[in-house]
Structure 1
Amino acid sequence: MMKIIVVDDEETIVETVENKLRKEGYTVFTAGTAEEGMRLYRLIKPDLLLLDIMLPQRSGVDLARAIRKDSSVPVIFLTAKASEDDRVKGLEIADDYIVKPFSLAEVAARVKSVLRRATGETPNEILESGNLRIDPRTHEAWLDDKTVQLSPKEFALLYFLVRHKGQVFSREILLDRVWGQDAYVSARTVDVHVRWLRERVETEPSRPERLLTVRGVGYKFIG
């Protein structure tokens, strides 16, 4: 049975989400602070975490970043922060982003979708392109043997584009293939992640030579 940790300081939300997920067949653990959430994470090693962003003392974003240093376990943010900028920044760290108020059916569906993607078959081929090397087994990338720090979604996007080097993909296709059909994000999310990737893998991000824009179509990686 899959284990899920819910971290939120609103008791009503915790109780209703916990009950719904238990009915869906998950084992659920709950916490009201980031510190409690981290203790549970270390003890339980869950299959997924649902995190509120605006927690007391330490935010859910800080907790997610700390967990990301240790694991690629799926994280979904549950939050009242609803602007597009908040969503984009949240998805730099998390696998999905659910805005309050939400329906319990939506939460269950998004949890199922993220877990399906996380446990599905993942390519394990190490890719090399010039001085860039990417290892999906460890979620690490290197430029000239120097580690490139990437968020989970940045890594997934880079790996997908390098694996299909030379092919042009629209924003819609990238959203589907990297974020998944059930991800509630806009095409701008792709643009932002491409910009972040250029800052990491291009010598001059403002004049990209590897991760190119094909005007009116989308993006491609060429070398």
Structure 2
Amino acid sequence: MSAHVLVAEDDVKHAEILRRCLESAGHRATVAHDGPTALATARRVRPDLVLLDVMLPGLDGIELCGILRRESAVPVLMLTARTSEDDLLLGLAQGADDYLTKPYRPRELLARIQTLLRRTRPVAVDLLRAGPVTVALDTREVRAGDRLVECTPDEFAILVAMMRRPERVFTRAALLEQTSGGGKESTERTIDTHISNLRRKLEPNPRRPVLLLTVYGVGYKMAGAG
């Protein structure tokens, strides 16, 4: 079960070790080295889990945990060098889901992460991927990398159809059937507008698309699915 993990750790060397450990296990990691940056990053990228060191500069981990818990249900695993029972209880009281006391073994860390993800994630998530684009079918959430993308119902329907069948070439007529545009006022050229809008929202450079590709004389296809 892979996840996007925010690593909030002020020790640069230790943060890099954590990042490599997470990525070797198939997770994606974003690192922040102080409390304010960690909070801003959590609000921006909405991680699946936060590894939160207690001794962060600017905003300590216990206070940051309380803010995160008031704003979201993201699971928080506290990392602490402290052994005081009062400190550990304070972290749990602020809403931490679990804690590890340094030093700890990488295998134990990964096991705790997997346990938290199983406990906090929905049982079944239908997720489509194409390059940096992900679509969660159950929540109708579209992301380009870490960025949340707002799509109209027709844009969403077209995107899902193409991501379900990567490399298949869709005619404009076939894509029009996926939308609500079967009325008299809709034409196949409506699809060109939807594709243009999707490229603007999803492509790094909409003028040179690498995901939503034009097949000249036929229609469009989705590339880079995986």
TM-score by length of 1: 0.52
Paired residue for 2:105? Answer: 103
Q: Which has the larger radius of gyration?
A: 2
**CA shift at 1:86, angstroms?**
1.9
Paired residue for 1:37? Answer: 38
Instruction: Tell me if the contact between 2:62 and 2:90 (Cα under 8 Å) persists in the aligned partners.
Output: no
Structure 2 CA distance, aligned partners of 1:4 and 1:62? 19
Runs of 4+ in 1 over 3 A off after TM superposition: none
Instruction: Tell me if the contact between 2:65 and 2:91 (Cα under 8 Å) persists in the aligned partners.
Output: no
Q: What is the 5 A alignment of 1:43-82?
A: 43-82=44-83
Q: What is the 5 A alignment of 1:105-184?
A: 105-121=107-123
Aligned amino acid, residue 118 of structure 1: T
SS across alignment from 1:4? strand
1:22 maps onto 2:23 in alignment: yes
Aligned amino acid, residue 57 of structure 1: G
Paired residue for 1:206? Answer: none
**CA shift at 1:64, angstroms?**
1.1
Aligned amino acid, residue 98 of structure 2: D
Structure 2 CA distance, aligned partners of 1:98 and 1:38? 21
Structure 1 residues 160-187: Cα deviation after superposition (integer angstroms, max 9, x where no partner): xxxxxxxxxxxxxxxxxxxxxxxxxxxx
**CA shift at 1:12, angstroms?**
1.6
Structure 2: where are the runs of 5+ without partners? 124-226
State the superposition RMSD in angstroms: 1.6
Structure 1: where are the runs of 5+ without partners? 122-223
Paired residue for 1:149? Answer: none
Stretch moving more, 22-31 or 61-70? 61-70
Instruction: Tell me if the contact between 2:75 and 2:97 (Cα under 8 Å) persists in the aligned partners.
Output: yes
SS across alignment from 1:49? strand
SS across alignment from 2:71? coil
Structure 1 residues 61-94: Cα deviation after superposition (integer angstroms, max 9, x where no partner): 1111111111011001011111222222222220
Structure 1 CA distance, aligned partners of 2:122 and 2:90? 25
Stretch moving more, 85-94 or 19-28? 85-94
TM-score by length of 2: 0.52
**CA shift at 1:30, angstroms?**
0.1
Structure 1 CA distance, aligned partners of 2:79 and 2:88? 11
Aligned amino acid, residue 99 of structure 2: Y
